[in-house]
Amino acid sequence: MTTGWPDGNKAGLTARRPDPVLPRRTVVAGLGVLLPGSALARVAPQVPAHVHAAAAAHHAAAHPLHAPAIVGRAAPPKPLVMLDPGHGGKDPGAIGISGTYEKHVAEAAASELQRQLEASGRYRVAMTRVDDRFIPLEGRVDIAHSHKASLFISMHADALTNRAVRGASVYTLSSKASDRQTAMLARTENSADRYGGPHVHADSPEVQEILASLVTEETRHGAAHMASSIVSSFRPRIGLLQHPSRHASFVVLKSADIPSVLVEMGFMSNHMDEAALRQAAHRMVVAGAMVQAIDRYFATDSMVTHATG
C-alpha cells in the first residue's frame, strides 16, 4: 500500500541515513504548496530591519527612479488689456455742441470694447474706471501697473476750436508734439488734474521730459505698432484725420514698460462726430475695429513675448 513516504513505507525511511538538514528557506518554500497563506506567514523567516533597508538601497541603485516625462506645457496667461475711459466725475472732459459730455461717451465706448474683447475669449480686460468718478492721470497709469497690464488704451473724444475738424486719430508718447494741434490737445488732457485740487497735478514740462526719456525702446516700439494697427483698422470704416498717427507728451501715456496709446474717436466740437458717438451702433463699429487692431498687435511674435514674458 502506498503511504506517501519515501520508499513506500516508514521502515525504509528509518533504515536509511538521514538526509542533510535543508536550509530553513528551502523548507518554507516547499511548504508553500501545502499550507495556506496565513500558516505560511507564521513559519516565514523574520528578516531583520537592516536587511530590508540594505535590500531597498540595492533595488534603488539598480532601478533608479526617473521624473515623469513632460508631455505638454500650461497655456500662457491671456494678455490683460487696460482700458482707460477719459475724464470722469467732476471732470466732464469736452462738452459737445448738443451738450454731450466726453466722459460719458468715453465710458460707453470703453464698456463696449470691453464687452467685445471679453467675448472673443482671447483677453483679460480691466478698466481704470467703471463709473462716473475722477481719477488723476498718474493714478490711471498706477492702476495699469497694479494689474500688470500688457497694453494700455486711453479713450477720448476731445474738442477743438475749429469745429470743422472731424475724424479719429491715435496718439503715442513723445517729449515733443508732432504738430501744433496735437500740442494743444496734450495741454488740454494734461490739465485734467486741475479738478483734483492743489495736491493733484500733472508734472512740470521738465519732469515730463525726464519721464518720457525713461520709457524703454521696446515700449515705444509696441506703442507705435499698436497705433499703426488702430489706424489700419479704422481706415476702411471710420473717418480719420489727415495725419491720424500723432504724438505728444501725454501724462497718461508715460508708463515705462506698458505700451500705451490714446485714441481720439472723434471731436465733440464737430456736430457730425458728436452725433455719431452718441449712437451705440457707431460705438460698436469703433470697438470692433479696435478689437481687430488689438488682435493684429498681439499676433506679432515680439508683442506676444512682451505681453506674456
Give the pLDDT band of residue 60 (cuts 50, 70, 90): low
- Output the pLDDT for position 39: 43
80-85 and 260-264 beta bridge pairing: unpaired
Has residue 105 got a pLDDT over 70? Answer: yes
Q: What residue type is assigned to position 111 of the chain?
A: S
The larger pLDDT score, comparing residue 113 to residue 76, is at 113
Phi-psi region of 245 (alpha: psi -120 to 50; beta: other; left: phi over 0): beta
How many percent of the chain have pLDDT more than 70? 68
Q: What is the 3-state secondary structure (H, E, C) of the chain?
A: CCCCCHHHCHHHHHHCCCCCCCCHHHHHHHHCCCCCHHHHHHHCCCCCHHHHHHHHHHHHHHCCCCCCCCCCCCCCCCCEEEEEECCECCECCCECCCCCEHHHHHHHHHHHHHHHHHHHCCCEEEECCCCCCCCCHHHHHHHHHHCCCCEEEEEECCCCCCCCCCCEEEEEECCCCCCHHHHHHHHHHHHHHHHHCCCCCCCCHHHHHHHHHHCCHHHHHHHHHHHHHHHHHHCCCCCEEEEEEEEECCHHHCCCCCCEEEEECCCCCCHHHHHHHCCHHHHHHHHHHHHHHHHHHHHCHHHHHHHHC
Q: How far, in Å, are 6, 130, 159 from residue 109 at the CA level? A: 103, 12, 17
Give the pLDDT band of residue 1 (cuts 50, 70, 90): very low
- Output the pLDDT for position 55: 60
Q: Calculate helix-pair angle for 217-234, 280-299, nearest 10 degrees.
A: 130
Mean pLDDT across 118-134 = 97
Give the pLDDT band of residue 6 (cuts 50, 70, 90): very low
- Output the pLDDT for position 199: 52
Phi, psi of 101 (to 5 degrees): -90, 135
- Output the pLDDT for position 10: 40
- Output the pLDDT for position 275: 97
* Distance (Å, whole) CA 235 – CA 289: 9
- Output the pLDDT for position 288: 98
Give the domain ranges of the chain.
80-307
Summarised one tens digit per residue, pLDDT across range 236-278 is: 999 999 999 999 999 999 998 999 999 999 999 999 999 999 9
- Output the pLDDT for position 175: 85
Measuring CA to CA, which residue among 189, 284, 291, 246 is closest to residue 276?
A: 284
Q: Mean pLDDT score of the chain, rounded to an integer?
A: 81
Summarised one tens digit per residue, pLDDT across range 135-169 is: 999 999 999 999 999 999 999 999 999 999 999 99
Has residue 228 got a pLDDT over 50? Answer: yes
The larger pLDDT score, comparing residue 54 to residue 188, is at 188
pTM: 0.73
- Output the pLDDT for position 136: 94
The larger pLDDT score, comparing residue 35 to residue 116, is at 116
Has residue 12 got a pLDDT over 50? Answer: no
- Output the pLDDT for position 66: 61
Mean pLDDT across 56-84 = 73
Could you confirm whether domain 80-307 is CATH 3.40.630.40? yes
